[in-house]
Structures are given as structure tokens and as C-alpha cells.
Amino acid sequence: MMTSRHSPSPATRPVARMNKMLRSLAATLALGSVAFVAHAQSSDDQALIQRGAYVAHLADCAACHTGIGGKLYAGGLQIKTPIGAIYSTNITPDAGSGIGGYTFEQFDQAVRQGIRKDGSTLYPAMPYPSFARMTEDDMKALYAYFMHGVQPVAQTNKAVDISWPMSMRWPLAIWRKVFAPTPTTATTAPSDDNPIALGEYLVTGAGHCGACHTPRGTGMQEKALDGSSPDFLSGGAPIDNWIAPSLRSNPNSGLGRWSEEDIYYFLKTGR
């Protein structure tokens, strides 16, 4: 039988078939490697988002950034202050009314330094003096969660209800420079192997317990931001008719008679 000029001879056909099989195998392995890497990246991303959800729960972001009967993280909750009412903002990833247009650097600057994307200073009802203690890793996880784990909601932010001149924001920059700490340079949070350090990190950082449970000074700043002062967690002013009692170890006014189980159960159930 005669063969075409371009067809392999009978002697070379096994070699041609072998080369074809090797090329197919190489292509399959290459695709498998790409798929494996993509799956690994997806798994890493998902783990980061889950960590961010955990941090958001620690910080109780939903409590302030969800209006009564409103959508999760869409803002609109009225917060009464001595100078008037402000309203929590939309922190969903909606590009128009939320934080969808924020880079990580802008998000980090807002949360840990109290500086908005436009450069103005946030009202300190946002507890950025506490959030300044959060690590960069937790901030990256929080950003991943809000950008990829939260449903975007198109809901315009409400204007503050504060009369001039107290409504001016430029004095807030002075307040921030005087009372707000520099964000921590630590990248990772303490581990479970050091429960006291981890507890301090949760209480003084994401948990921002002092924002309510520490008395305020004449500038409406927290009198202390950590346990180095006896004022820290010694009891705050009434907020919306709720009393923020002392969380210190005093057996009469604080938690001195509470067991670990008592504290756990109260934080879990509110009772």
C-alpha cells in the first residue's frame, strides 16, 4: 500500500503515536497543575474570608452598621452622642454607596486611623482608637470578608444630625492626633498558647470593650485604652439608657465573683 508523502512511514508510526501521547500527557499534567494551583488559591482565599468573618463578629460590626430592620452592614443606625446624632455608614461592597471602591490601604486607614477615603476624619463613635491595636493580618482578613463575603447593598448614607459649628470635621483631626494611638506594627495576633495575651488583644482591639466600659474625659476620649490604668474598663456612661458597668476584677462593682463559665455564658446569651 502506498502512503502519502506527508504520512509517517510504518516504521515511524509508533514513534509518532508515542510523541502524541507524551504531548497529551504533558498538556493534561499542565492543566492539572493550573487547576491545582487555582484550587489552592481559592481555598486560601476562602480561609481568609472565613477569618475575616470571625474578626467581624469579634468586632460586632453588625451591631452598629445595621439599621433596625435594615439589611446587614448597610448602615443607617442612629447613634446618639452629646453633640447630636450620627448614623452608621454602609460598609457593604457596593461601589456607589458602600466601600466597594476602597483599596486595602484606604480600608485599613479608615478602620485603624479613623481617616475616610476623602481624607476627612471619622467621628470617634467609630472606635478606631481600639481598632488601632488590630494586626495587619486581621485587617487583611476583614477586608477580604467585606469585599467578597458580604452582599452589596445600594443604600445611601444619612447625613449627621449635628448643628454647626460642632458639625465641622476639621477639629476631629486634632482630636485624632491628640487621643488616638498609632496603629500597631504587629502582623499576627497572639496564639491560643498565650491566653492572657490573646485575651488582651481581643478586649483592647477588635472587641473594643473600653469604648463603652471605660469612662470618658472632657474631650470625650476614653481615659485609658489598656490595663495599664485603673480607669480602663472601670465603667462607662449610660448609652441609650443602658449602663456599661465595670469589667474589672472588683468583687462588688466588677466581675470579681464571676467564674469563667459565668462570663462565657453571659457573652454568649446576654443573660
Helix pair angle (13-59, 136-148), 10° resolution? 100
Q: Cα dist. 150→52, 56, 232 in Å?
A: 11, 11, 33
Of these ranges, 13-22, 68-77, 183-192, the one predicted with the greatest mean pLDDT is: 68-77
pTM, whole model, 2 decimals?
Answer: 0.80
- Whether 13 shows a pLDDT value over 70: the answer reads no
- Distance between CA atoms of residues 27 and 33, nearest Å: 10
Which one is predicted more confidently, 268 or 105? 105
- CA geometry: angle at 60 spanning 40 and 42, to 5°? 10
Which one is predicted more confidently, 160 or 5? 160
CA 86 to chain centre: 21
Say which residues have a Cβ less than 8 Å from residue 198's Cβ, sequence separation at least 6.
189, 190, 191, 192
